[in-house]
Structures are given as structure tokens and as C-alpha cells.
A and B are shown apart, each in its own frame.
Chain A
Amino acid sequence: NAGVMQNPRHLVRRRGQEARLRCSPMKGHSHVYWYRQLPEEGLKFMVYLQKENIIDESGMPKERFSAEFPKEGPSILRIQQVVRGDSAAYFCASSQIAEGEKLFFGSGTQLSVL
């Protein structure tokens, strides 16, 4: 039973490029959450999605950031025109609807913006 899969593990982008981070939830999980972690800081909530629906995006920056969880395929966190301040570890988590908010995390994507 594969856990939450995130790819790539490491992503290097130059300023102004686009970054796409992918997350496949655990089998049977229909809820996906994205978090950002800066060095020496805790996890900051970004967005919560169900299939084809954004439930809560209150933690997402208003510009350049978007997320989707299509009917088929992984959830995507997209960052357009990246800046150095976007450098961070981005974690995805998933949960079963029956479990509520017991989250299982992926290994994260480390984004480095040059």
C-alpha cells in the first residue's frame, strides 16, 4: 500500500520560471492538502482540495500560486514566475473522508529558486 507520493523530490528553478509539484494521495484517500515549510519553521497550510474541488485556499498567496486535484491524476501545485522567496519544502498530505483530518504526509518537494 503505497503512501503519499510526491515528485519531484528536488526541483531547481530560475527566477521567473514555473514550478509544478505533483502529489498522488494514498489509495482510497479523497482529500489532499498542501503545506509549505520554510527552514526552522513549522508547516504552513496552503490549500485543501477534494477531487475537482478547492475546499479551502485561505493559505495560498493570491498571486502566482494555484492548485488543482483533477478527477484523474495527481494533485498539482503550480507556482508561476517563481521568486527566491518561494524556495521551501512543499509537503502534500492526504486523508480518508472517514478519518477526517488524520493526515498522511508525502516526503515533500524541495524547491530551490536560483
Chain B
Amino acid sequence: EDKVVQSPLSLVVHEGDTVTLNCSYEVTNFRSLLWYKQEKKAPTFLFMLTSSGIEKKSGRLSSILDKKELFSILNITATQTGDSAIYLCAGGNNDMRFGAGTRLTVKP
């Protein structure tokens, strides 16, 4: 059975800290891994990763995929209170499987 496991489930840090969120996957017919940020309601897209070892960056966020070890990490540097959210990863092809998410809380 396909599964995506995220860790930690929750994380509390202070502003300015750097965090690393983990996502491991066992998905048949894997094509890509996606990261989303969920605040309030609709998840918003962060990254799509299809190739191993190529880091994607967007401001203070970056992510990388390891297709050999079947995992991805999402890094957030110099965290801000606005980064508080649930971060979801998903792996698959047309039927993406989501992990349970990591709830990140950034305290002032």
C-alpha cells in the first residue's frame, strides 16, 4: 500500500530558527513529490520535485529530493511567525498520496 510519512508531526520553534521537515514515501508509479503549505484552509503550492539532488529554492524555503532513499526535506531558514502552518508533502503520479503533515508553530 502506498504511504507517505512526514516527521515530525509537530514542531515549535522561535523566530529566526531554521527548521527541517522530513517526508519519506513508498509510492508505486512515482513521478514527483510536492510540498504544500496549509494555513486556514486551502493548501498552497510550494515545490514540485522530480529529479534527485536538485535543490529548489524560493526565498527562505528550499527543498530537495532523494529518489534512491525515497525521501525529501523542506528547509525553512530564519523562520517568521507567518511560517506557522501545516506543511504537507505528497508523492505519486496522477493520484498523489499525502502525508499527515507537519504542524509548524513559530513563536515570536
Contact = CB atoms under 8 A, between A and B. Distances in A.
Contacts of B45: 102-104
Contact of B48 (A31, A45, A48, A102): A102
Interface string B7-31: 0000000000000000000000001
A1 interface: no
B34 interface: yes
Nearest to B98: A43
A42 B99 contact: yes
Contact of A43 (B31, B44, B88): B88
Interface string A45-60: 1001000000110110
A42 B100 contact: yes
Interface of A: 4, 31, 33, 35, 41-45, 48, 55-56, 58-59, 89, 91, 100-108
